[in-house]
Amino acid sequence: MRRLTDPDFPVKDKKFTGVYGPWRDKTGVYGVFQAGSVAKVITSLAAARAGLLGSASQRVAKTGPIFGCTQRDGQGPFFTKPGWYKPIHDHPEDPIHGHIDYIKALAVSCNVYFGQLGLALGPDAFINLVKDGVEIGWNGKVISPGKAGSRELAETAFGQAAALVSVSQLARVGGTVASGGIYRKCGPGMELGPPCEERKILAEPGLAVPILSGMEQVVQAGTARGLQKPSGMRIYGKTGTADAIGTKDEIVFGVPYNEWGPPNSWFLGIAEDEHAEPDQAHTPHRIVTAVVVPRGGLGARVSGPAAMEVLAAVQSLGYITPKAAAQPGAPAAPGAPTGSPGPGAPGGKAPITVVSPVLATPPPSVRPPVAASPGVPAPGASPAPRPSSAVSPAPARPSAAAPSGASVSPAPTVSPRPAPPATTPRPPAATTTPRASPPAATASPSPPAQVP
């Protein structure tokens, strides 16, 4: 902490290169992991580009396609299609969510919804997102999300299969949302001076507003509702808990090879001054942080609290500047959204019901009621490795297909989804971070039900 508080701290390594040289923002042992539910923000960008979420100038309460989460079996709520070898599932403890829109689906992290959204978008939506500059996966240049109508495509859309990211890639995805659709990639030395590469990912800034509105509900009423947020700050977030098979590189860390190990814990957060007008496409001084604790467990219980500590430190350094003219709780300006999607899915597919953005009421003085499923106390969490994190002042890119189908040990039973902690535990103190290696040429089986 002396680096943060002592102005005379002898900073000799201004580029933060360390013994490994400039930050190696690459793959495998350099930090690419199964994304889990944080990849739903990537799918959200693809849906925004396709016009399915509409465009707005202020917070929206409801928008996007309506999909049903209406069936359950012994493994939880599910969705399937003829010809699939098994359904996709939500967490076993989740209730069926009913016929829901995009905002609620992101808040409760509904796999069933996002699987259907991915099928409606089709593989080209993800492929084109990467071609246009958003880096995701092993080399960041290509992605194989699965064929149209396939179970693999549905899995990619909610965070399994081809949904693989590093913390830097995820931070850029968050920065794209936070900046109104501008993707920024800076150099490997992490210096402030050199210019960053910029690409326009969304056609207009208002397309990002529905995503911000959904991420706000994640924190207020969804899977991250129990996080202890730093005072003076508004947080937009997304939790992720990603099941993944153990790799050879992880044997040294005690992760069984070719077996389902503990999940990767993820959190993506966008922070702004609490007095800023909420859910605006452009707000100065926003900060984005992405955190992964490899094999750390549930995103809301491990990476989420760690991200809150990162953002508290950022705030203490003065990076989030209050807006002098802000008026907390002021009602949003009246008027309709700047645009709305037309009904039907792109590409001449069967039509789906699409809700135009519905403006929300002004920010209430108390938090809205919880929309997510009731939490269940979590089993005792084992110590996790030190989180890897990336912080960006604003604005990600997909790749590599995920495994499906080889002979390995059976998938573990998914732990009940906990209610996020009422207090913020400190992140683990281990000094090494488990490494992941690229998927083997042989396919691996589908993971157990994804925990948000």
266 part of a folded domain: yes
Per-residue model confidence as pLDDT tens digits over 203-215: 999 999 999 999 9
Q: Exposed, middle or buried by CB within 10 Å (0-12, 13-18, 19+), for 198?
A: middle
Looking at 140-144, 302-306, 421-425, which range is the least confident one?
421-425
Work out the pLDDT band at 388, boundaries 50, 70, 90: low
397 part of a folded domain: no
Residue 142 has pLDDT above 70, yes or no: yes
pLDDT at 441: 35
Per-residue model confidence as pLDDT tens digits over 90-121: 989 999 999 999 999 999 999 999 999 999 99
Work out the pLDDT band at 187, boundaries 50, 70, 90: confident
**What is the Cα–Cα distance from 268 to 392, expressed in whole angstroms?**
11
> Which among 390, 150, 393 has a CA at the least distance from the CA of 272?
393
411 part of a folded domain: no
Residue 122 has pLDDT above 90, yes or no: yes
pLDDT at 305: 94
Q: The CATH number of the domain where 108 resides is what? A: 3.40.710.10
222 Cβ partners below 8 Å, 6+ apart?
106, 107, 108, 109, 371, 372
Number of compact structural domains in the chain = 1
Work out the pLDDT band at 390, boundaries 50, 70, 90: low
Identify which of 4-13, 119-128, 295-304 has the greatest average pLDDT: 119-128
**What is the Cα–Cα distance from 194 to 122, expressed in whole angstroms?**
37
pLDDT at 188: 73
Residue 327 has pLDDT above 60, yes or no: no
Q: Exposed, middle or buried by CB within 10 Å (0-12, 13-18, 19+), for 199?
A: middle
Q: In the structure encoding, which two tokens stand for residue 422, read together?
A: 């009422």
Instruction: Tell me the pLDDT of the chain averaged across its residues.
Output: 77
Domain of residue 101: give its range: 22-364+387-392
Work out the pLDDT band at 252, boundaries 50, 70, 90: confident
pLDDT at 358: 87
> Which among 201, 190, 229, 205 has a CA at the least distance from the CA of 390?
190
205 part of a folded domain: yes
Residue 161 has pLDDT above 80, yes or no: yes
Looking at 20-24, 281-285, 356-360, 393-397, which range is the least confident one?
393-397
310 part of a folded domain: yes
Work out the pLDDT band at 248, boundaries 50, 70, 90: confident
Residue 343 has pLDDT above 70, yes or no: no
* Residues 228 and 308 sit within 8 Å (Cβ to Cβ): yes
5 part of a folded domain: no
**What is the Cα–Cα distance from 38 to 220, expressed in whole angstroms?**
17
Per-residue model confidence as pLDDT tens digits over 405-416: 333 333 343 333
pLDDT at 416: 39
pTM to 2 decimals?
A: 0.74
300 part of a folded domain: yes
Inter-CA distances, 44 with 49, 89, 202, 218, 426, Å: 9, 19, 11, 14, 30
Residue 279 has pLDDT above 80, yes or no: yes
> Which among 35, 89, 151, 95 has a CA at the least distance from the CA of 372?
95
**Average pLDDT, stretch 342-359?**
57
**Average pLDDT, stretch 28-50?**
90
Q: To which H or E segment does residue 177 belong? A: helix 167-178
Per-residue model confidence as pLDDT tens digits over 354-382: 888 888 765 444 333 333 333 333 333 33
171 part of a folded domain: yes
pLDDT at 7: 63
Percentage of the chain modeled with pLDDT above 90 = 54
